[in-house]
Amino acid sequence: MPHATPSDVAFSPAVKAIQSARGSREGYARMERRGGWRTEVTPDLAAFIAAQRSLFLASASADGQPYIQHRGGPPGFLRVLDAETLAFADLSGNRQYVTLGNLSENPRVQLFLMDYANRRRVKIWGEARVVADDPALLAMLVPAGTEARAEQAIVIRVTAWDANCPQHIPQRFEAEDVAAAIAAREARIAALEAEVVRLKAGGTQVGVRPDGST
């Protein structure tokens, strides 16, 4: 169903009624008059997506029963195919196939992307389809070094997206990034210790100039 403004994908009449009752409707109405949420993948959004290691994919059955699935991989596992299309390889898992069942009768989905380190989040609404008969697409989407079998691709046409403020987002860091930071610090400490040893061996006191002054 077409929407009068992109944010109507989330702001149903019931939602707008509550916004009016709670005092936030006029602010969102001004946003809508300025064009509302974006519907195309901008360069900034593409860069954000390329850095993500995980996502939450929400779908629903025909009768409205919601389901949220987590998907993860190396940065770039969620690919931008063009200005309105995203895709990722759906790797084999527990074989419940709840998302696939939902998509077979209701294509509407939402992606929730969290960047805990930088306290950023992006919500993306769209319509998804399952592509199981395109080997070239699947080969492009499977991250290098992946051992799990890719069963199909999930291709999402973006309907709207919105970036939230950082309020209430806890700051967390990926273990891989923390390990790299610690390794860099330890390498720097080792280099400084080696420099101290070299200076002492040369008869120069650390922090003291050759003429004895500090």
| Tokens 């199981």 -> residue | 132
pTM for this prediction: 0.80
User: Per-residue pLDDT tens for 43-74?
Assistant: 999 999 999 999 999 999 999 999 999 999 99
Angle value at C-alpha 111, between 97 and 35, nearest 5 degrees? 145
The token pair at 208 is 């003291």
Query: Is residue 210 predicted with pLDDT exceeding 70?
Result: no
User: Per-residue pLDDT tens for 85-108?
Assistant: 999 999 887 889 999 999 999 999
Query: Is residue 206 predicted with pLDDT exceeding 60?
Result: no
Compute how many other C-beta atoms are within 10 angstroms of the C-beta atom of residue 159.
20
The answer to whether the Cα torsion of 106, 107, 108, 114 is positive or negative is positive
| Tokens 């389901």 -> residue | 67
